[in-house]
C-alpha cells in the first residue's frame, strides 16, 4: 500500500530506494508476471497473488477512523490489487496484531470480513497475535484470471479512461491533517473504497489494452502505466475537473491524492465511448475519458486554459507528502 496516508505519515526517499531494491526480484519459473512488474504476481496457471500491509500510525489512525473501518479499508485496499489485474477473488488471508488482551481484533476482523464478503472473497486463513504497540493488519489476496489487466500493453492512439471520481479520499486526509472535519462524501470515499473487480473484468472484455487501480494518485499510477507500456500519457485538465473534489486544490488532489481505488485503463479509440451508458447502468459508477496515449514518456497535462501540454510535476502534494521527515 504505497499511498497518500502511507506517504503522508510514512517513509521518505531512502525508504523508497530500499523498497525499489527489494522489488527487483529474479524471474521465477512458473511465474507469468513477477510482483515487481505489476500490482500482483500472476502464475502460469492464472493464479494471482498480492500482499498489503497496513500499520496504525502509518497507514491509518484510530482517532480518525474506527478499528472496524481500519479493517475494512485494509481489506479493500488489498482486494483492489485483484481489481488492478482484473482477477476474480479466490479468497483472502488476514494476519492481525493488536495490543492488550486482543479485544480490538474483533472489530478489525469484522471489517476485514465485511469487505471480503462484499466482493465474495472467502477468508482462507489468518493469524492473530499480540502487538507490543500498533495495530497491524496484513492481507494476502488470492485471485484467478485468464486475461490479466497489465500495466504494459497501452498503444499510441489509445484513449485513457478512469472509473468514478478521483481525489476525494485525499481531500478527507487533507482535512484531517488540518484538524477539519471532511465533507461526508470525502470521508466516505476514504472509509469505504470498493475494489472495482467486476468493472475491471468488464473493461478487459470490452477491449482495454492496459490498466491498474489508482492507489498512488492518477499522475503516479498513469506514470506506472506509461513506463511499463513505453508510452506517454496525456491527461486533460478539463476532463479531470468534473471528477475532482470541490475547492482550489481539487485538480491537485485528483492527480496526486491517492487511495481512490478506482481504475485507469487504456482502450482503442471508439471502443468504450459507445458503451458508457451500459457501464453506468450496470455498475452505478461513472466511467470517463480523461486523456490519450501518445508517443514519448511520462505523464503530461493539457491545461484547461488552452495552453500546451506540460509534464505533470511529480508530487504536487510534496508539501505534505511526508509529515515526519525533513524535506531533501
Q: Which of 70, 79, 97, 170 contacts a second copy by CB under 8 A? A: 97
**Residue 210 to residue 44: CA distance in whole angstroms:** 19
Q: Which of 76, 85, 87, 96 contacts a second copy by CB under 8 A? A: 96
Which of 163, 140, 69 minimizes the C-alpha distance to 107? Answer: 69
Between residues 103 and 146, which has the closer beta carbon with respect to a second copy? Answer: 103
Judged by CB under 8 A, does residue 180 bind a second copy?
no
Q: In terms of DSSP H, where are the helices of the chain?
A: 4-9, 13-23, 67-84, 105-118, 168-177, 184-191, 197-206, 218-229, 237-241, 250-256, 276-283
Beta pairing partners, 128 = 96
Minimum distance from CB of 272 to a second copy (Å)?
30
With contacts defined by CB under 8 A, name the span among 14-22, 157-165, 207-215, 218-226 that binds a second copy. 14-22
Write out the three cell numbers for 126: 489468518
Sort strands 136-144 and 47-55 into parallel, antiparallel or unpaired. Answer: antiparallel
Judged by CB under 8 A, does residue 166 bind a second copy?
no
With contacts defined by CB under 8 A, name the span among 45-53, 159-167, 189-197, 241-249 that binds a second copy. 45-53
With contacts defined by CB under 8 A, name the span among 127-135, 164-172, 190-198, 211-219 that binds a second copy. 127-135
Judged by CB under 8 A, does residue 314 bind a second copy?
no
Residues 175, 253, 21: CA angle, nearest 5 degrees? 105
The answer for residues whose C-beta is within 8 angstroms of residue 15's C-beta and 6 or more apart is none
Q: Which residues bind a second copy (CB under 8 A)?
A: 1, 6, 10-12, 14-15, 17-19, 21-23, 25, 28-31, 35, 40-41, 43, 47, 49-53, 55-59, 90-91, 93-97, 101-103, 105-106, 109, 122-134, 136, 138, 140, 142
Amino acid at each position: 500500500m504505497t499511498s497518500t496516508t502511507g506517504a503522508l505519515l510514512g517513509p521518505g526517499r531512502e525508504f523508497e530506494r530500499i523498497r525499489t531494491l527489494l522489488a527487483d526480484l529474479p524471474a521465477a519459473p512458473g511465474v507469468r508476471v513477477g510482483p515487481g512488474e505489476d500490482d500482483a504476481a500472476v502464475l502460469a496457471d492464472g493464479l494471482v497473488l498480492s500482499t498489503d500491509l497496513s500499520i496504525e500510525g502509518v497507514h491509518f489512525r484510530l482517532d480518525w477512523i474506527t478499528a472496524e473501518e481500519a479493517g475494512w479499508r485494509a481489506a479493500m485496499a488489498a482486494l483492489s490489487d485483484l481489481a488492478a489485474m482484473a482477477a476474480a477473488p479466490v479468497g483472502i488471508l488476514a494476519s492481525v496484531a493488536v495490543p492488550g488482551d486482543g479485544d480490538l481484533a474483533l472489530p478489525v476482523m469484522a471489517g476485514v470480513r465485511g469487505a471480503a464478503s462484499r466482493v465474495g472473497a472467502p477468508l482462507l486463513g489468518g493469524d492473530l497475535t499480540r502487538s507490543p504497540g500498533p495495530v497491524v493488519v496484513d492481507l494476502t489476496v488470492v485471485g484467478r484470471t485468464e486475461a490479466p489487466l497489465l500495466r504494459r500493453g497501452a498503444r499510441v492512439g489509445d484513449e485513457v479512461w478512469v472509473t468514478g471520481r478521483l481525489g476525494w479520499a485525499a481531500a478527507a486526509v487533507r482535512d484531517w491533517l488540518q484538524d477539519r472535519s471532511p465533507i461526508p462524501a470525502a470521508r466516505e470515499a476514504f472509509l469505504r473504497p470498493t475494489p472495482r473487480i467486476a468493472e475491471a473484468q468488464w473493461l478487459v472484455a470490452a477491449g482495454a489494452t492496459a490498466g491498474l487501480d489508482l492507489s498512488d494518485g492518477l499522475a503516479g499510477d498513469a506514470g506506472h502505466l506509461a513506463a511499463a507500456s513505453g508510452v506517454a500519457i496525456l491527461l486533460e485538465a478539463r476532463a479531470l475537473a468534473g471528477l475532482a473534489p470541490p475547492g482550489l486544490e481539487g485538480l491537485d488532489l485528483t492527480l496526486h491524492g491517492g487511495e481512490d481505488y478506482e481504475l485507469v485503463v487504456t482502450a482503442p479509440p471508439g471502443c468504450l465511448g459507445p458503451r458508457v451508458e451500459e457501464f453506468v447502468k450496470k455498475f452505478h459508477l461513472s466511467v470517463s475519458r480523461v486523456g490519450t496515449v501518445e508517443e514519448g514518456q511520462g505523464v503530461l497535462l493539457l491545461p484547461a486554459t488552452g495552453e500546451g501540454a506540460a509534464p505533470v510535476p511529480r508530487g504536487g502534494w510534496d508539501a505534505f507528502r511526508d509529515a515526519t521527515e525533513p524535506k531533501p
